[in-house]
Amino acid sequence: MTKWRILGRVLGVIVICTGLFYLWIDYSFRRSFRVAFGPQFSADIHDLSVAFKGQMGALYLGKQSDLPTLVDSRTFPDKTKQLLAAYRSNPERYIKYAKFTDTVVSASQVGDELLKTPPPARLPRTSDELSSMRSDLRRDSWGHPFCIVSTDKLAFVVSFGPDAHAPFACYTLHIDNEIRKSERRIFQTPSGEVVLKIDRSAATPSLSQVLSSLHSSPD
């Protein structure tokens, strides 16, 4: 037997042993989690993530009153149990606001791309024109491109919302003065559009602008 054949067999054994060791570790972790948290652990984590995103979506839009008020708890497990129970009593409402959270995050990524173009340079009309971004990052939660309205100082990234129907006429969009002058950076209009407002001269990312405005503005 040549030394190369021996070396090949040794490497094969090492690869097989490494694979078996990985499978054993994976099985051990999964079994430990099931023992510690119960057989519904995976479902609980999924539901909690949707519930948390739903809470964030309601916060972004100033619609916290649309979701159940949780009793103040001292311990984290109690809070998570309350949130999980609230989600499972009305999952559709949390899923609705979770989609708004995803839309705000996508809009902020579009906004960050727009911030790379300093004023007074003109910005594109829609997110589909941002060829530097992946196509899936240029869409809202309902698969629609964002419209972009801009001035020398501000940029607005607009989703037409869950009830929108193509084709979209971005050039007809009007941003009213209330939104332009408000300290808030994220809005939902009476007709359902979700609007992200960005300060084009700011050094902070779009989502950071949104979060800071939530602390400084009333609901």
The helix/strand/coil state of 154 is: strand
The terminus-to-terminus CA distance of the chain in angstroms comes to 78
Q: 119 to each of 116, 151, 197, 202, how far by Cα in Å?
A: 10, 8, 15, 11
pLDDT at 12 over 70: no
- The reported pLDDT for the residue numbered 200 is 93
Tell me the per-residue pLDDT of 110-134, one tens digit each, with 9 for 90 and over: 999 999 998 888 999 999 999 999 9
- The reported pLDDT for the residue numbered 219 is 47
Of residues 3 and 155, the one with the higher pLDDT is 155
Annotate 57-93 with b (16+ C-beta within 10 A) or e (fewer): bbbbbbeeeebeeeeeeeeeeeeeebbbebbeeeeeb
Q: Which domain holds residue 206?
A: 40-219
d(CA 205, CA 202): 8
pTM: 0.76
Tell me the per-residue pLDDT of 78-112, one tens digit each, with 9 for 90 and over: 888 888 899 999 999 999 999 999 999 999 999 99
Instruction: Report how many domains make up the chain.
Output: 1
